[in-house]
Every structure is written in structure tokens, then in C-alpha cells.
Structure 1
Amino acid sequence: MMIRYLIILGLLLGISCRKEKWNDRNKPANSQNLLQTIQANNDLSQFYQYLVKTGYDKVLASSKTFTVWAPVNSAWAGVDPALLNDTARLRLLIANHITTLSYTGSAGEQRIATLNGKKIAFTSGSIEGIKVSVADQYAANGVLQVIDAAIIPKQNAWEYLSSTRTQQNTFLQSLAYTGIDTATAVQIGVNPTTGAPIYKPGTGEVALNHFLERINIDSEDSLLTYVILADDVYNSEQQKLTKYFTDTTAALTDTTTQWNLVKDLAFNGVYDKDHLPETLYSIRDSVKFHISSHDIVSTQKVSNGVVFIVNHIDYELATKIKPVIIEGEYFNGVKDATKTIAIRTRVNPATGAIFKDVYMYNYGQASYWLRYNARLNTVAYQVYWVAVNDVQTSTFPMRITFGDPAVTTLPYTTVPLLSYNEQYIGDYTNVRYGVRDVYLVGNSVTTNGNNTILLDYIKLVPILN
């Protein structure tokens, strides 16, 4: 028993010793904080001076955890003196070398947010393509990486676009407006009519942009490819699209056309000029683009991806001027709200697909209608519907009209029995871009079974040349 006890005790002592050695390996060998560690390194003296000048010395002397990529003294000779002599720009530059938490190159490729809000790419042995000459030096409050060059902050795609003198930039800047940040605005009352808060003028004001609210190429959180059109391309593409966005005034037509041109020029992911896929899908509406490397006249790497300036673009018009589908159950107006309207869930026996439709029967009114809204281009449309007549043994007619239920845009069309296919109704030419009222109108009789209304969906397919 004594021998067994001594063996177990020896094993436990061995494990304890190994554990202590392992813990010692993972403890920072340096009891100094990051600022002290940098100050003690003669080859980082210039970086230390810039830390003091910008106030980041106090940040690195705190108890919070940081990772610092510190350029050696010789690295600063390659930095524009104008940047180093501008205190505000120097602060942004120094902040681009510091991040919260501890990072080492052993974790693989990482995109890390720095203290200036930019993200930088860190891999084993390099940061933003700059060599890490001394890696993973632990300090009491983080990790120091010594690097061979300064990490100059890159513009993001929006910042780069804003620096260009292009018509694309001019239009997008025109979409700027001043909004209210309710978190910082001072409330001084409440609107007695609407109940909305009233804020003190001049408080909480923030610069916003309608484009960035929909396609945020200013964000550092994801990587993208952005395309800027040379001015002659911008003009020719605008002229090509104008006929599809004709509005009541030339100014409205111009604004709408330009918006529909620029909204589709951002793509998820970063692409190399010489290895572009055959098809790129725009972030906004999945428009299909085919961009050739031969058409790229300039490439700019940005902090959130890459920007191409092009002298030609090619896209599939049918993916920009898309078909419009109006689901039967999503009506927003009726002729008589007292009538019963059923929403059914059905199964297509041929495909197994589940769908919903709207159904009215025995309601006793002639020319009953349901109203829908649809945003339409100025183009001719082929009009189809799917109406599954599986509720009665006789057929019945319906019609589709636009703008006014009393106007006969398209004639009555008979709904056949048990058809799950799209049925062609006729052609309709829309003459003004925007939201239009679309009506599904029942038969002009009160006879039960002959004035049934039934609709899965309406489909408007643009006729493109």
C-alpha cells in the first residue's frame, strides 16, 4: 500500500510540475506594459515619440489589453512628411497601428479593427503585406509586433469615390441630407398632433446619405468590389436607361435614371482584375454584370475591398428591368369591405409546391375588384396570371386593369379548369415610371359561379429590345 501511495504521489507531483512549467510558458515574460516596452526599444524611439505627440501613450499605459504593430525607426523615412506634420492625420496614422485585445500571427488570416475604425489584414509574418520582423512580444497589457514599414490608412470605397471628380460621385453626393441622431439630440417637447418628439434645433444633427443607407460602401465590416464609371460611360448608360424611367418631369426622370444606374455597381467580395468571374451579381438587386479586365482602366485597393474605374460595362438588361410579380393575397384595397375574402393555402399536385391564393364566391356583386400596387417601368409588359380554378366545375371570366377599375385596359379572360400554369392575358404599355394601381376585376354580373374571383399571382414581364 505504501509503495502504491508513493507512486501516485510521484505522478501527481510530476503533473503539477509540468503544469507550472506550461503556465510559465504562457505568462508574459515582460512585466512592463506596452508603452514601457516600446520606450525601452531604441529601434522604436520614433514611434514612441509619435505616441506621446498624439496622446496614445496614455492609452497604451492603461490596464486595457492591446496589440500594437510598431514600425522601426527607418520605416518613417518612407512616410509623407505632410502626413507626419499634420496632428489630426498623424493621430489617424498612429491609431492604425493599435487595436484592442491580443492578436498573434498564429491565428491565421484575420481582419482586425484598429482604433481609427479601419480594418487591417493580419497574417502570420505580415500585416497589410508589411513584414513583421519581431513577432508576438508579450507585455503586461498585450502583444507587441515590430514591423518594417508604417501602416498607412487606406480610404474605404466611399472615401475614394468622394475624392474623384466623376459624375458618379457628383450624383451620389447630391443624395446627402442632415438627419437627427435621437441619442444625442435634446428633446424640448412633443408634437401635440402626431406625438412625435420635438428636438432643440442644432442638436443631434448628423450627415447622412440616401445611397449609403441602401448600399453602404462606407462600412469596414465587409469586403466589396466597387465600380466607378468613366464620365463618358456614365453618360451613355444614363441615356440608354432613361426610356425605362420616364417620369412627369425631366428632373424626376433624370434623378430616377441616375439612381437606377448607380445602385447596382457594388458587389460582395474582393476580385482581382485578372481573375474576374464570368458573372458578377450586384449587391442591391442581383443584376448580372460581365466585366472584362480590358475595360478596367484603374484599380485602387481600399480598406474595405477594391475599386475599379472602367471605360465600359456590360450587364443583362432583363436583370435590371425585372418582371413584376403581384401575389394575389397581398391586396391593399377592395370594392366593398363587407364581403368575405378567403386566403387559401394550396399544393400544386404536379410539383408539390405550396402556394397561397385569394378566393371570393357567391358575394352577389358585379364587377367587384381587388386593388394592388406595383412599381412599373415605362415599358410594354406581357401580362400573365395564375388562377387555379379547382373550386367549381364551370369556368368564369376576370380581367386586369390599371389606374381605374372602371377602365377596360385588358379584356375579360376566361379562367380554365384546374390549370396551374401561367395564362397569358394581354399586353400593357406603362407610360409613367412609378407605383401604379393594378386591379383584378370580377365578371360584370351578379350570378353566383360566374363572378368568382380567384388569383395566385399576376406577372408582368417587360418586353425589352
Structure 2
Amino acid sequence: MNRNNKLLIVLLTFSIVLNACEKERWDSHDKITDPQLQQNLWQTIQKNPDLSLFSQYLQQTGYDTILASAKTFTVWAPTNEALKSIDPSWIQDTSKLRQLIANHIALTRFTTDIIQDSIRVKTLDGKNIIFKKQQVENANLIEKDLYSKNGILHIIDQPLIPRMNIWEYLNTAFAGSLQQQYLQSLMYSYQDPDSAVQIGVNPLTGQPIYQPGTGIVTRNRYLQKVNISNEDSSLTYIILTDQAYQNEKNKLQVYFQDTTSSQTDSVTQWNIVKDLAIQGIYDPDHLPNILYSANDSVIYHLDKSAIISTYRASNGVVYVMNNINYDLSTKIKPIIIQGENFYDRMDPTKSYSIISRRNPITDSIFREFYMANYGLASYWIRYPRVLNSIKYKVYWVSMNDVQTGNFAMKLAFRAHLDTIPQPPSSVTFDFQFPYTTVTPNNYSEVYLGEYNQNLYGLIDIFLVGNNTTTNGNNTILLDYIKLVPELN
């Protein structure tokens, strides 16, 4: 072995020894020296004499085993003194005790150093709690950010009583109220094929046959539209006193007249409740001048003096109110029907176009339904819409920059037809405006007249071409139709 190779071996050996020493030094540095970090959360809580009552409840509910597992948790543990103030009903009922204890535990680590102002934390009972640097909900942090082997412990001076969500509060505190009774009437059940037990197949249809009584699922039509039971929501919700609720029914029912009083009542109530949820949580002392309903953008002007009580729910805040103020025009809205959004037409074999144009006055781009040179008289396009029982002022915009000559069209109305009679040209109308001449290059709304709708419901609105087969005189061209309700 030559001298150079010997030198290389010496250097390599020295490097290995040096690296081994360095690794041993850092391994020693990284070793857990805090005994607290060698204990899991259950052990940490169990050894704290001021948490003995909480420790006892953990054992009673089985959460001691959970907090001893390999998963990571955050626990807000009330002191013995804090737990003495709890209503005995939370302790005596096993299911309620489990819910209570679960409301003090969350998955993963939550330390105060990650908080700017506050954060929402989902606990093991599915509720969200508000965690701040010095508080969780209304409880103060006595000790905070105590690390253990599998999570973080905070010690607090009040128990975290689970809050009801808005739906639970409505059905508990206001059971039997007009608002609650109507919302409960929207419950329905159906058989869910995914959870039902299949016992055969119909030999005629090939459809599965399910065992009666299996897979029955209960739903609520209101919650499907406005889910005030969702724990992850952040809502401001209005519960009306019975008198306020009745006042709203009296005010709105004129716009929802139906063939029977019971149907009028049901539709009116739906149009009250559908807009009582507002996105976001608002302090009653700092209510904005304008608030928008979560469902249909109704504009509210809530008066603090009309709030008779407040409840902080797990998914928002509830105001119990004896009066509500809103812009009626945002509940009973104008109806705008775009020309291209038609349902059907008299003869689908005839070609049509959706053309894009620029309005030279506003410089905006718009789209129009356009038919020309199709050779039929009184050709119609149908637009079904739900109308309120009210008088409407009716307008259209037909921007004729496609031909130099005039043409005429009209609007007609009738009760909705599921099936058009044959031939389609034989459709009769309940009401129709006279033909209106469309002149070239008029980009303004044209007032057609008033239409009085007696009953709330689905109505067919027809755009009808001129009663002539002469091409150029029977052109159909529509940007939009607008119906503006005349509100009381």
C-alpha cells in the first residue's frame, strides 16, 4: 500500500469518528428531558389534583382511553371548582355527560401562539367553540399550552357547556310557536335505496323491490334550502314572536293568493321563513344598516329595539324579534326573462339564432333571441315563470339593428300547459297585449302595459310573432322581458 492510500484511509477513518461523535452530541441534545412530554394527555390530567373531577368524568365516559391513544388532541380541562357549578342534569345523564366531556376535546394541537384574534375549533361532539389567546368561549385560560406526548392541555375556569345549534334552539325554546310549527310541517320521509334492504326484483319492470320499513330517511324541506342545523355555518337567524309572525302573514298573503286558503297560507309562510337566515354573525350593538338574507338576498334593516332576546348558538346567533323591517321589493322581486332562455316554441324545426350585440349607449354586450325568414304567422316562443298574485307593469327590450324595416310582436299569457295541444298553432291565450311595432335601433325599454295576475303560480308567457307569413314583417327579436310588480 503506497503512502497516498494510507493517508486517504486515515482521513476517512477520522471523518467517520468525527461524524459519529457529532451525531451522538445532537442525539443527546434532541432527547426529551421534560418528563411531561413522556406522558400522554390522560396521564397528565390524571396526575393533576385540581383536575380530579374532570379525570373522573373522563373515566365514566370512556374518554380516558381515547386521550391515552396515539392520536393527537387538545383538551380544555375545567378545574374541580369550575365543574361544581354545572347543572346536575349534565352529570346524571350518561349521554349528556359524554356530550359535555366531548365538548372539551378537539383533534390535533391548538396552541395560543397560532391565534391572531380568534379561531373556531370543532370539538369531538361536533360543535364549534371559539378559541382566543386568553379564553375559550367564556372561560379564561388559567394555564395554557401545556405540552404532553400526544397533544396540548389548557386549564380553564369554567366548563364548556355545549351550545344548541339554531335548529335545536328553535325546536327546544320555541316549540309550539307559529314559526316552529310551520317548519316542522316541512318534515317528510322516503325510502333511500342505498340503505334499504333489497328483497327481490320486479319481473315486469326490472326495478328492485325493497323490504318495507328499511332505509327510511327523514328530511326537512326547509333545512335542504336553508340549513340552520349545520354546525359549520355562521348565521344570524331571526325567530319571530307569534304576533310578529302573524303580522307577516297578513302583510304577504295578498301576493300569494291560491285556489284554496290552505295553499295560500302554506306558500305565504314559506315566503316568510325562507329569508330569516342572514349569512354571518352580527352583534346586536353593531348591526349594519343593510343586511342580506342568506337564501334570496332580501334586504333587511334590523332595528335593535325590536330584539327582545338573544341566544348565542353553536353555529351563529339568534335574535328573537317582535318586528322585522325589510325592502318589500327585494322579496316580491321584478321578473326579468332573457330572450335566449326559452322553454319551447311552436315549431322546433324552424331555425333560430342567439346573437350578440353591443349597446352603443351603454357600451355593454347583450344577447338576443332572433328568428327571421321562417314563413309562419303568429309563431310563438314560450317562457314559463312563477308570478305573484299582483299587478305587473310589463316592458321589453327588442334592439332591432338587424333590419331596416319595422316588424310587430306581442306578449300573451295563460295558465301553464304541461303539454301543448296539437296543432301548436291552436294555443289560446287568457290575456294578450296588442301587437307592438319594433322600430330600428331602439335600445330602450318599451312599456307594453299592465298585466294583472290573480293567482300565485306558474304562468306561461308567450312571445308571439306578427300574424303574417311575409318574411321581414314577422321577425322575432328579443333581448329581455321585464315584469315589475306594483307593490302596495
TM class by shorter chain equals over 0.9
**Cα offset for 1:203?**
2.6
In structure 1, C-alpha distance between the alignment counterparts of 2:26 and 2:327, rounded to whole Å: 64
Task: Check if 1:216 corresponds to 2:216.
Answer: no
2:52, 2:80 within 8 Å by CA — same for their partners in 1?
A: yes
User: Once structures 1 and 2 are overlaid, which stretch shifts more, 330-339 or 376-385?
Assistant: 330-339
Match of 2:50 in 1: 43
Conserved in 2, the CA contact under 8 Å of 1:105 and 1:124? yes
Q: 1:150 to 1:433 in 2, by over 3 A?
A: same
**Which structure has the larger Rg?**
2
Partner amino acid, structure 2, of 1:368: Y
Q: 1:148 & 1:84 partners in 2: Cα distance? A: 18
- Aligned-partner Cα distance in 2 for 1:28–1:121: 31
Structure 1 residues 190 and 263, CA, compared in 2 at 3 Å: closer, same or farther?
farther
**Where does residue 425 of structure 1 map in the other structure?**
448
Deviates more, 1:379-388 or 1:180-189: 180-189
Kindly tell me: are residues 356 and 203 of structure 1, through their superposed partners in 2, closer, same or farther at Cα, counting changes over 3 Å? same
Q: What secondary structure, in the 3-state scheme, does the structure 2 residue paired with 1:78 have?
A: coil
The residue identity in structure 2 corresponding to 1:59 is I
Q: CA deviation at 1:26?
A: 11
Q: How does 1:251-400 map to 2 (within 5 A)?
A: 251-400=262-411
> Which residue is 1:5 aligned to?
none
For residues 278 and 267 of structure 2, what CA distance do their matches in structure 1 show?
A: 21
1:416 is matched with which residue?
439
- 2:381 maps to amino acid: L
Could you give the per-residue CA deviations for residues 53-104 of structure 1, whole angstroms, max 9, x where no partner exists? Answer: 1111221121111111111111111100111101111111011011111111
Shift of 1:359: 0.6
Aligned twin of 1:156: 165
Residue 136 of structure 1 pairs with residue 158 of structure 2: no
Among 406, 410, 420, the alignment partner of 2:428 is 406
Which of 449, 462, 481 is residue 458 of structure 1 equivalent to? Answer: 481
Contact 1:335–1:370 (8 Å) recurs in 2 = yes
SS state of the match for residue 106, structure 1?
A: helix
Task: Tell me the amino acid that sits aligned with residue 85 of structure 2.
Answer: G
Aligned residue in 1 for 2:132: 123
Which runs of 5 or more residues in structure 2 are unaligned? 1-18, 416-426
Q: Higher mean Cα deviation, 341-350 or 227-236?
A: 341-350
Distance in structure 2 (CA, Å) of the matches to 1:246 and 1:321: 13
Equivalent position SS for 2:285: helix
Amino acid at match of 2:68: A
Contact 1:367 1:441 in 2 (8 A): yes
Give the counterpart of 2:236 among 225, 230, 235: 225
Pick one of 39, 59, 70 that aligns with 2:66: 59
Residue 92 (structure 1) aligned with residue 99 (structure 2): yes
User: Is the CA contact 1:386–1:420 (under 8 Å) kept in the aligned structure 2?
Assistant: yes
| Deviating more after overlay: 179-188 vs 199-208 | 179-188
Which ranges in structure 1 are unaligned for 5 or more consecutive residues? 1-11
Determine which of 109, 113, 129 is the counterpart of 1:102: 109
Distance 1:195-1:68 versus aligned 2 partners, 3 A rule: farther
Instruction: Tell me whether 25-34 or 209-218 shows the greater mean CA deviation.
Output: 25-34
RMSD: 2.5
CA deviations over 1:281-333 (Å, ceiling 9, x no partner): 11111111111111111111111111111111111110100001111111111
For 1:304 and 1:132, the matched residues in 2 are separated by 23
CA contact (8 A) 1:28 1:140 kept: no
| Matched residue SS, 2:318 | strand
Per the alignment, in what secondary structure is the counterpart of residue 371 of structure 1? Answer: strand
Cα shift at 1:201: 2.6
Name the SS of the counterpart of 1:57 in structure 2: helix
Percent identical among aligned pairs is 52
**Distance change >3 Å, CA 25–CA 106, structure 1 → 2:** farther
What's 1:6 paired with? none
Cα deviation for residue 207 of structure 1 reads 2.3
CA distance in structure 1 between the aligned counterparts of 2:74 and 2:482, rounded to whole angstroms: 57
- Tell me if the contact between 2:72 and 2:108 (Cα under 8 Å) persists in the aligned partners: yes
The code of the aligned residue for 1:222 comes to S
Q: 1:146 aligns with which of 139, 152, 155?
A: 155
**Counterpart secondary structure, 2:410:** strand
Q: Aligned-pair distance for 1:145?
A: 1.2
What is the CA–CA distance in structure 2 between the aligned matches of 1:206 and 1:81, rounded to whole Å? 34
After superposition, the Cα gap between the structure-2 partners of 1:190 and 1:133, relative to the gap in structure 1 and judged at 3 Å, is farther
Which SS does the other structure have where 1:146 is aligned? strand
Alpha-carbon distance between aligned partners in 2 of 1:27 and 1:341, rounded to the nearest angstrom: 80
The alpha carbon displacement at 1:25 in A equals 8.6
- Among 444, 448, 457, the residue aligned to 2:467: 444
Provide, for residues 203-250 of structure 1, a one-character-per-residue CA deviation record: whole Å limited to 9, x for no partner. Answer: 332321100000011111121110111111111110110010001111
CA contact (8 A) 2:275 2:295 kept: yes
1:80 matched to 2:103? The reply is no
**Deviation at residue 196 of structure 1 after TM alignment:** 6.1
Give the conservation status (yes or no) of the 8 Å contact 2:36–2:44: no
TM-score (normalised: structure 1): 0.93
Q: 1:413 Cα deviation (Å)?
A: 0.7
Determine the C-alpha separation between the residues in 1 that align with 2:332 and 2:30.
64
SS at match of 1:137: strand
Query: How far, CA to CA, are the matches of 1:126 and 1:104 in structure 2?
Result: 12
- Partners of 1:214 and 1:236 lie apart in 2 by 24
Task: Tell me: CA distance 1:331–1:171, structure 2 relative to 1, closer, same or farther (3 Å).
Answer: same
Distance 1:35 1:287 in 2: 50
1:34 aligns with 2:41: yes
